[in-house]
């Protein structure tokens, strides 16, 4: 099911702010929205499936694809490489569906440079204390990784004013409703 005016949406913000949570909730309400599968050099977490959660690549394979111009954007994030493949975006947009990229802040700004019509949405945690609590509560990170993500979060928050919209993920239901209404309002344009 395609939308009338397919758009390229980019959702980013600090790790642990709730991007994955909000995007998953939003896709339940907007099933036509295509989520791209990113490539990464990090190892799969328990339960993650290659080709579904990420395309898990060796550093050599990732670099080969960078050199071949296969990425819309890519960045070093928390010690690993992550990127969006052109093929992932093109296939969804050409099917007439809006696309949503859930990527880090450096990548989002690269997308805006290459596609000025892309709509950038920054997901902000209510506070840094709450961000720490969410990262701890998710249970996926070592204490060192949590500190690295919090240090990066401070730098990322300073770039929020370069986004088209800033959304505070306080209550997840409320935030999801706001995200859905933002996406739908752009699709009507």
**Binding stretches for ligand 5GP (CB under 6 A):** 12, 15, 19, 38, 42, 73, 75, 77-78, 82-84, 102-104, 106-107
**Is residue 20 close enough to count as binding ligand ADP by CB under 6 A?**
yes
Contact status: 107 vs ligand ADP (CB under 6 A): no
**Contacted entry of ligand ADP, ligand 5GP, none for residue 107, CB cut-off 5 to 8 Å set by kind:** ligand 5GP
Nearest to ligand 5GP of 82, 186 (CB atom): 82
| Residues 6 or more apart whose Cβ sits within 8 Å of residue 75 | 81, 82, 83, 103, 104, 106, 107, 110
Instruction: Specify the residue, 77 or 157, whose C-beta has the smaller distance to ligand 5GP.
Output: 77
User: Across the strands, what pairs with 101?
Assistant: 10
Name the 3-class secondary structure at 15: coil
Judged by CB under 6 A, does residue 19 bind ligand ADP?
yes
Q: Least separation, in Å, of the C-beta of 157 and ligand ADP? A: 13
Can you give the length of the chain in residues? 189
Whether the Cβ atoms of residue 22 and residue 133 lie closer than 8 Å to each other:
no
Task: Please give the Cα distance from 65 to 172 (Å, whole number).
Answer: 36
Burial level of 122, CB count in 10 A (0-12/13-18/19+)? buried
3, 9, 18, 92: residue in contact with ligand ADP (rule CB under 6 A): 18
Q: Which is nearer to ligand 5GP, 74 or 186 (CB)?
A: 74
Q: How far apart are CB 66 and ligand ADP at their closest, in Å?
A: 24
CB of 137 to ligand ADP, least distance (A): 5
Is 11 near ligand ADP (CB under 6 A)?
no
Nearest Cα to 124, choosing from 11, 31, 1? 11
The CA distance from 185 to 169, in Å, is: 19
Residue 77 interacts with, from ligand 5GP, ligand ADP, none (CB under 5-8 Å by kind): ligand 5GP
Size of the site for ligand ADP (CB under 6 A): 14
- In angstroms, the Cα distances linking 166 to 11, 84, 119, 160, 178 are 10, 22, 11, 7, 10
Q: Which residues bind ligand ADP (CB under 6 A)?
A: 15-21, 134, 137-138, 169, 171-172, 175
């Amino acid at each position: 099911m395609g939308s009338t005016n397919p758009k390229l949406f980019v959702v980013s913000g600090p790790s642990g702010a709730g991007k994955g949570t909000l995007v998953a909730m939003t896709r339940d309400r907007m099933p036509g929205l295509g989520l791209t599968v990113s490539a990464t050099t990090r190892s799969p977490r328990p339960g993650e499936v290659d080709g579904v959660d990420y395309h898990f690549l060796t550093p050599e394979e990732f670099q080969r694809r960078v050199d071949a111009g296969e990425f819309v954007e890519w960045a070093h994030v928390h010690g690993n490489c992550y990127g969006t493949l052109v093929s992932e975006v093109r296939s969804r947009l050409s099917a007439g569906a809006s696309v949503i990229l859930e990527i880090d802040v450096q990548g989002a700004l690269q997308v805006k440079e290459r596609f000025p019509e892309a709509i950038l949405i920054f997901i902000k945690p209510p506070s840094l204390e709450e961000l720490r609590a969410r990262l701890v509560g998710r249970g996926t990170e070592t204490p060192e990784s949590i500190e690295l993500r919090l240090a990066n979060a401070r730098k990322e928050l300073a770039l929020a004013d370069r986004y088209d919209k800033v959304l505070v993920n306080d209550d997840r239901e409320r935030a999801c409703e706001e995200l859905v209404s933002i996406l739908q309002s752009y699709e009507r344009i």
